[in-house]
């Protein structure tokens, strides 16, 4: 891999900050989804994909270096949470952004409908077992946030959780938001850095992508009949997402509301946010102590004497 010179590195980091800062929500008070346009591309020409790909490539290379430092320094873990409507590009974004990193330092978990065993536990239980180890990057493709989204839009899913009846009240969602906020503060205080991405897709673009999946036999496998059913609840989902972001955005665990109508732009913003986050951790390779250095020199002598 070509290493960026210190000057290039500063320039890439600065560019990354410029791409992610406009979409970072660290305090959700007064947040409205319509504050972010799904087809936003900032100053980039939306037809100039080549330029965007070049920017992404330099970001991906820098990310590999930052991940190496994260692993070597073994202090923090990074948890990246992805939430979105179907066809917003979660899978593709994860694939492209993480393409340069060492697979050994990265763990991806996709959360589907809970199993019978999951339902017999509290809703954070299954996620808690999948948290990244120190030094690793963990990716949640969907997460415990589904508990404030799909479960809110479909009350029958809440009924399946068999909660004690006195706990099921109108306050339930506010309580879940509060519990999640506290859970994420707890993680932060234990060195797990949490960053959350909502890929913000427009309803029109989802329709275009669904139609493509239906027209193109090579993409048929990506389509599921349930996707259309969930689309019918679009407005209720948008309300749920908006409230979720309002109540759970914090400085310790900010949301990035990422425009998702142009996949190349989504990838750029997500890569930028990860780079910016890791850069701020000021990750250093462990310093070799004098005694360890002496031991290394002795080992070298021993090998040379063989």
Number of H helices and number of E strands within the chain? 13, 6
Q: Which is nearer to ligand ATP, 16 or 240 (CB)?
A: 240
Nearest of 188, 174, 209 to residue 84 by alpha carbon: 209
- Closest contact distance (angstroms) between CB of 86 and ligand ATP is 5
Least distance to ligand ATP, CB of residue 230, Å:
6
Contacts of 150 (CB under 8 A, 6+ apart): 157, 230
Q: Where are the alpha helices (DSSP H) in 154-220?
A: 155-159, 172-189, 203-215
* Residue 67 or 83 with smaller CB distance to ligand ATP: 83
Smallest distance, Å, CB 305 to ligand ATP?
58
Q: Which residues bind ligand ATP (CB under 6 A)?
A: 86, 91, 111-114, 142, 146-147, 150-151, 157, 224
* CB 242 within 8 Å of CB 35: no
45 CB-contact burial (10 Å; exposed 0-12 / middle 13-18 / buried 19+): exposed
Whole-number minimum distance, CB 147 to ligand ATP, in Å? Answer: 5
Q: Nearest distance from residue 219's CB to ligand ATP, in Å?
A: 13
Pick between residue 20 and residue 87 the one whose CB is nearest to ligand ATP.
Answer: 87
Residue nearest to ligand ATP (CB): 146
Strands 255-259 and 24-25: antiparallel
Cβ closest to ligand ATP, residue 4 vs residue 157: 157
Q: Give the nearer residue to ligand ATP in terms of CB position, either 11 or 167.
A: 167
């Amino acid at each position: 891999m070509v290493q960026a010179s210190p000057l290039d590195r500063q320039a890439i980091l600065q560019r990354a900050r410029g791409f992610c800062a406009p979409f970072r929500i660290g305090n959700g008070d007064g947040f409205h989804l319509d504050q972010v346009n799904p087809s936003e591309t900032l100053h980039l020409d939306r037809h100039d994909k080549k330029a965007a790909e070049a920017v992404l490539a330099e970001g991906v290379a820098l990310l590999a270096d930052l991940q190496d430092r994260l692993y070597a320094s073994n202090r923090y873990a990074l948890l990246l949470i992805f939430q979105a409507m179907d066809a917003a590009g979660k899978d593709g974004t994860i694939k492209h952004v993480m393409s340069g990193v060492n697979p050994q330092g990265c763990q991806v978990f996709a959360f589907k409908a809970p199993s019978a065993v999951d339902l017999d536990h509290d809703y954070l239980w299954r996620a808690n077992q999948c948290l990244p180890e120190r030094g690793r990057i963990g990716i949640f493709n969907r997460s415990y946030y589904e508990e404030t989204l799909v479960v809110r839009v479909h009350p029958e899913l809440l009924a399946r959780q068999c909660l004690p009846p006195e706990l099921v009240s109108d306050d339930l969602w506010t309580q879940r938001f509060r519990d999640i906020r506290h859970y994420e503060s707890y993680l932060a205080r234990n060195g797990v850095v949490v960053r959350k991405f909502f890929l913000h897709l427009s309803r029109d673009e989802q329709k275009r992508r669904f139609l493509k999946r239906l027209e193109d036999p090579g993409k048929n496998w990506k389509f599921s009949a349930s996707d259309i059913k969930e689309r019918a609840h679009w407005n209720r989902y948008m309300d749920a997402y908006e409230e979720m972001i309002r109540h759970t955005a914090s400085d310790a665990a900010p949301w990035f509301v990422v425009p998702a109508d142009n996949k190349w732009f989504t990838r750029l913003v997500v890569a930028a946010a990860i780079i910016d986050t890791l850069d701020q951790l000021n990750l250093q390779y462990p310093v070799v102590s004098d005694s360890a250095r002496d031991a290394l020199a002795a080992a070298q002598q021993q090998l040379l004497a063989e």
